[in-house]
Amino acid sequence: MKKIAFLTAAAAAALATPALARDDQWYVEADVGAVKAENIFNLTGVGNAGVLKTKAGYDFGGIVGYDFGGFRLEAEASFRRVEEANFTTATQSFTNAQVGGGAEALSFMANGLLDFGPDNGLQGFIGGGVGVGRVKNAVLTAVNAVNVNDSDTGLAWQALAGVRAPVTDHVDIGLKYRFYNQNGNDLVNNAGRNVRTR
């Protein structure tokens, strides 16, 4: 989300419900939760000015994975979005009422996870993923020259950790923390200036 490296780097916490997650089996998972983005810098393309601060937002996604026992591999598609809070340039400041827009990222990731703990009780996991993400940033004010409404696609990575526990023989429920990062997104603002967010 900043560098969600959301242009940026982004951190997200999500509630996960993996179904059929057992040793030597395929499983599916649905995630939904809250996300908080770091501040997004350099949206004016001049001297790192143009800082977008955002509110808490949402994160959701789906996963297909295979459980090898103590290790899992996953294919994940997820989306996250945050709305604007305020925007400042070197000479101007826009409150929440004066700016629209926000930041969002759609990603497709391959994850690897290490599990620890019993399958029939509380189990923890840590891991990470790498893939491709498409980030969009929008800053909409009454001053067109500082506005941005553009997107970029690039390499993304994430760190994952969480806990899960079975609620039936075939369904687990858990809590997941995600730090998602997509650095160095190249955008063009409404003044035609190249913007490389950080």
Q: How many domains does the chain have?
A: 1
Evaluate whether residue 1 is within a structural domain.
no
Evaluate whether residue 180 is within a structural domain.
yes
The pairing of strands 172-182 and 148-166 is antiparallel
Q: Could you tell me which of 50, 15, 53 has the C-alpha nearest to residue 36?
A: 53
Domain, as residue range, for 133: 8-196
Evaluate whether residue 2 is within a structural domain.
no
Q: Which two tokens stand for residue 25?
A: 């089996």
For the cut 70, the answer to whether the pLDDT of residue 64 exceeds it is yes
CATH number for the domain harbouring residue 50: 2.40.160
185 phi and psi angles, rounded to 5 deg: -85, 135
Evaluate whether residue 140 is within a structural domain.
yes
pLDDT per residue as tens digits for the range 171-182: 888 888 889 998
Evaluate whether residue 3 is within a structural domain.
no
Whether 103 and 134 have beta carbons less than 8 Å apart is answered as no
Calpha distance 36→136 (Å, rounded)? 16
Would you list the DSSP string of 121-132?
S-EEEEEEEEEE
pLDDT per residue as tens digits for the range 135-157: 998 888 898 888 889 999 999 99
Stated pTM of the model: 0.85
pLDDT per residue as tens digits for the range 80-138: 999 989 988 888 889 888 888 899 999 999 999 999 988 788 889 999 999 999 999 88
pLDDT at 18: 56
Average pLDDT over every residue of 7-25:
50
Evaluate whether residue 85 is within a structural domain.
yes
Q: Could you tell me which of 143, 155, 150 has the C-alpha nearest to residue 194?
A: 150
